[in-house]
Structure 1
Amino acid sequence: MKTLTLLRHAKSGWDDPVARDFDRPLNAKGKRAAAMVGRHMRTLELAFDHAIASPAVRVVETLAQIESGYGRTIAPAMDRRVYLASAVTLLDVVHGFPAEAARALLIGHNPGLEDLVLMLVADGADPLRDAVEDKYPTASIAELQFEGDWSDLATGTARLTRFVRPRDLDPTLGPDAD
């Protein structure tokens, strides 16, 4: 069985004066949320033998905060294809994961990550999938499991086993709080 964990970058600063979207940094709430999610990942004893990330500044900064809470280095390969990628492009990236990897982490952006979950997990009476469909907030993690190889992953073949939003860990990190 393979496990794919999807991490959306933490909340970034829209009011930051940067010339390109690619260079947008995290804001204070995003840094807090990412560190908390990292601590939660440590308590869940999540481990990854392969990781790929968007090279955008907000993803790099999310990883730094995740790692500080997680207590270990993730050191993903940076892949420009992940930056603002569609679900189809993200699936192509996943199809290229090494066969020997059993637990992989993909760190990127919405709407691609949300669309990927909704594509891979069949629609049905699944409260976790419903929560993703409602909203895949910044710094949230979704964990999917499926049988077969990475190249076998296709529409409706995965089970969503975990969906954790920062507000699930600390209500002050929810949408109504600064």
Structure 2
Amino acid sequence: MKTLGLFRHAKSDWNDARLRDFDRPLNKRGREGAGLMGLHIRDYGVLWRRIIASPAVRVTQTIELAAEAAGQVPPLNWDRRIYLASSPTLMELLREQHSDQDGGPPTILMVGHNPGLEDLIFDLVPDDGSSPLRDMIEDKFPTAAFAVLELDIEDWRDIDDGCARLVHVMRPRDLDPRLGPSLED
């Protein structure tokens, strides 16, 4: 069995229309949410053996703030292919994480963007009632959300549609209602 964590970047700032999408920073609510989620991810208790992340500014800031709050400096693998990637692209990146000796790390945390992360959940987790938390994602996998999937595979090369169970979902607003959607967004 493998464990996959998915962490979407926190809320970004849209105030400077001159910035490229890749260069958008976090807004105030995003900075607060990133730190709070960093504590939650640490306290969830999984040791993430590999972290792969988009190098977009909003992702790098999310990781920096989450790591600072958690008091941990994670080893990171930046991969530009994660930036705005589709579910099939993300799945292919995960397949590349294998190792000929042991099938690759037991746990991977991927930090990136929607709609790719949300679609990846829908592709990996069957819509058959076996993962009741899947319904929580039906509305949206919001900014700074964190999900954990257990995959019925021994090697990352074997990741495919329907091979996972969604075992945990947490959103910033679940930890602090002030970080939920507002009329300003």
Superposition RMSD on alpha carbons, in Å? 1.3
Alignment of 1:116 onto 2:120: yes
Pair 1:131-2:141 in alignment = no
* Identity in percent: 48
1:45 Cα deviation from its structure 2 partner = 1.9
AA in 2 matched with 1:56: A
Shift of 1:124: 2.2
Partner of residue 151, structure 2: 146
CA distance in 2, matches of 1:100, 1:121: 21
| 8 Å contact kept, 2:11–2:29 | yes
The equivalent residue for 2:57 is 57
**What one-letter code is carried by the residue in structure 2 that aligns with 1:135?**
K
Stretches of 4+ moved more than 6 A in 1?
A: none
User: In structure 1, what is the equivalent of residue 12 of structure 2?
Assistant: 12
- Cα distance in structure 1, aligned partners of 2:146 and 2:108: 12
Gaps of 5+ in 1: none
Q: TM-score, normalised by structure 2?
A: 0.92
Residue type at the aligned position of 1:117: I
Distance 2:132 2:32 in 1: 27
SS of 2:32's equivalent?
Answer: helix
Q: Which range is displaced more, 167-176 or 37-46?
A: 37-46
Residue of structure 2 in register with 1:23 after alignment: 23
TM-score, structure 1 as length reference: 0.95
Q: Which runs of 5+ in 2 are unaligned?
A: none
Partner residue, 1:38: 38
Per the alignment, residue 47 of structure 2 pairs with 47
3-state secondary structure, aligned to 2:59 = helix
Query: Aligned-pair distance for 1:44?
Result: 1.7
CA drift of 1:17 comes to 4.2
Deviations 1:61-86 (A, max 9, x none): 00011101221112311101000000
1:77-88 equivalent positions in 2, closer than 5 A: 77-88=77-88
Letter in 1 for 2:148: E
